[in-house]
Structure 1
Amino acid sequence: MQQNLRGLFERALDDEPLPPPGDPVEQAMSQGRRIRRRRGLLIGGSATAVVAGTLIALNIALAPAAAPPSFVSPAAMLMPPASATCTWPVQDNAATVSVFLRDDITVGQLDTLREALLKDPVVRDAQFESRDQAYQRFKVLWADSPDFVAAVSPANLPQSFQVDLAQPSGYRDFAARFRGRPGVQDLVGQTCPGTSK
């Protein structure tokens, strides 16, 4: 009810003819409008700040120690490096690369990608990993979390190529050549102590 009255009052003020300049009524009305606008902005700004602060606090509290970049899919996140001493994802000097494949990759795209990987000058070896093979590796990597392992099936994991690079310093160029190719979902490089050159 009070909101309706306020709205009617605002409309009535808007329909009034403008008073002559310097009129005390005009000054009072204009001052009142400014105060109401400031109050609205303060309340809206305060609410926004509280929501933003809460979201930031939750993200900091719930974030993993080393958050992956945004291009890594959730399925790829299930397959961390086999060793805790390895760093992933890296931007430079990757010794090994996981090339995660899209669910809708065709046989032709898979064959073309395999051929391109094996012919690439910085690739030492490229092995295809099926969903079942990925699941077997996943079970080993997450052996300390049996409930988590029980919640995942081979269908949840992507097919991939596990690539060993002969020249880890060539990783950036390699990633540029293969990221975004037909059938490629994600490309994640890792480096482990003693493998970089």
Structure 2
Amino acid sequence: MDKTEQKIMDAAIKVFARKGYDGATTRKIAEAAGVNEVTLFRKFQSKENILRAVITRNREVILKTLDSVLQIEKEEDIKTSLHTLGRSLLEVMRERVNIMVILIAEGRRDPEVAVILESVIKIIVVRISEYFETQLKNGKIRNINPRTASLTFLSYICHMSQLRGVISEDILSNPEEEFDGFIDIFLNGILNAEDN
């Protein structure tokens, strides 16, 4: 991929995330990239092709990144492992928030995009579920459904990464503290120990 194609794709990510596929135009993408619209068409032929290129390229990057992030240390204590994993996933999502917005929004419109989004989510859910299964077998956690625990954990990560920058600081004033609170609630629940 040459520099011009990369500039167009970077601009397209921002425009698609802000305007959605239907609201984005090749003219807006070209302007954001600082290129002529003719150049955009010469490189990609259509808005649909730009979207496909953006999604395909970023899917590979996300999967590679997730592969290293999802190496959960099974010997560490659970709180440390989940804290490290959660922070790493939040960072990946923060770095790729525009791509995630595009995948979610366009996944509703385009079945092919939905398949790509599902493949990314599935990898995360399976790996975290495997971690919880191991902890369950080792007697470290109570008898829960590992998949449900995985989905619950991932739901917080996904929602917080998407809400950051959208909701006011009144609600999310200290993300670090909020995350620590989530880990505590996730691991210990909300009931007092004597009420369990």
TM-score class, shorter-chain normalisation, is under 0.3
- Looking at secondary structure, tell me which structure has more strand per residue: 1
Structure with bigger RCO (C-alpha 8 Å, 6+ apart):
1
